[in-house]
Structure 1
Amino acid sequence: MTVPLMLRTAAVLMFLTALGGLALAATRAKMDRPPSWMAIAHGLLATSSLTLLLYVGFTVGLPGLMWAGIAIVLAGAAVGLYLNLAYHERHKRLPVTPIALHGLITAVGLFIVALGAFGTGTNNP
């Protein structure tokens, strides 16, 4: 698998994760707590995309902007982990503000990663 293909695969996995996050948010609008299988699938997709990005970053190297995108995604993932551990696992109602914060932070990171993965600039590995 080539580096550009791995980066694009990671970006597509992140996009699918974002779609799952939108589905989770829509489900949360209708009920206090989305089903566990949805939250688990969302987390697994996110983890797989981040693992692939970090693998490429540590073995081949990435431009600084891609690392910034990864850092932003990791910050968003930390909010998601907090939501899972503090609310979802304890069967508590998920608060809307951290959900929105999680989505917004991670969307910015995804945008930056996608620019690096699909961009046509000279910094694209």
Structure 2
Amino acid sequence: MDSQTMLKVAVVLFALTGAGGLLLAGIRFSSKRQPPASLAMLHGMLAGSGMTLVIYAGIAAGMPNGAWAGLILLGIAAVGGVVLNLAYHWRNKELPAPLILIHAPVAVIGLVLLTVSVWK
């Protein structure tokens, strides 16, 4: 598989991750209860798969600077997701709204940068 195809697959994986994230946030904000752990794990695994593809494509064949910037932002969002999962969700504590409201736009901006760079 060539690097361009890997990057496009990664964008699709991140888009699916974002849809799952919207569902997770919707559950959290509408019902004030924890989203299902299985959905949170799927969200993280899709994001991890996309990150792996982007990193591999970037190292193996190189990619535009905008894609690297998107990857960095997605990495920052991933750290926020890990904090949400391990510090709150895993311990059955209520997910903090401010952290969710930071995690989401950072991930969206990263995905937009990556998508624009890939489909340039």
TM-score of the two chains, using structure 1 as the length reference:
0.92
CA contact (8 A) 1:32 1:92 kept: no
How many residues in Structure 1 have an aligned counterpart in Structure 2? 119
Distance 1:8 1:43 in 2: 19
Gaps of 5+ in 2: none
User: What is the aligned partner in structure 2 of residue 8 from structure 1?
Assistant: 8
Who is 1:56 aligned against?
57
Unmatched tracts of structure 1, length 5 or more: 120-125
Letter in 2 for 1:15: A
Letter in 1 for 2:86: L
Structure 1 or 2: larger helix share? 2
5 Å matches for 1:29-40?
Answer: 29=29, 30-40=31-41
* Residue 115 of structure 1 pairs with residue 113 of structure 2: no
C-alpha separation in 2, matches of 1:38 and 1:14: 15
Decide whether the 8 Å contact of 1:8 with 1:117 is kept in 2: yes
Q: State which drifts further: 62-71 or 41-50.
A: 62-71
Cα deviation for residue 5 of structure 1 reads 1.2
4+ residue runs over 4 A deviation: none
- TM (normalized to structure 2)? 0.96
Where does residue 25 of structure 1 map in the other structure? 25
Over aligned residues, Cα RMSD in angstroms?
0.8
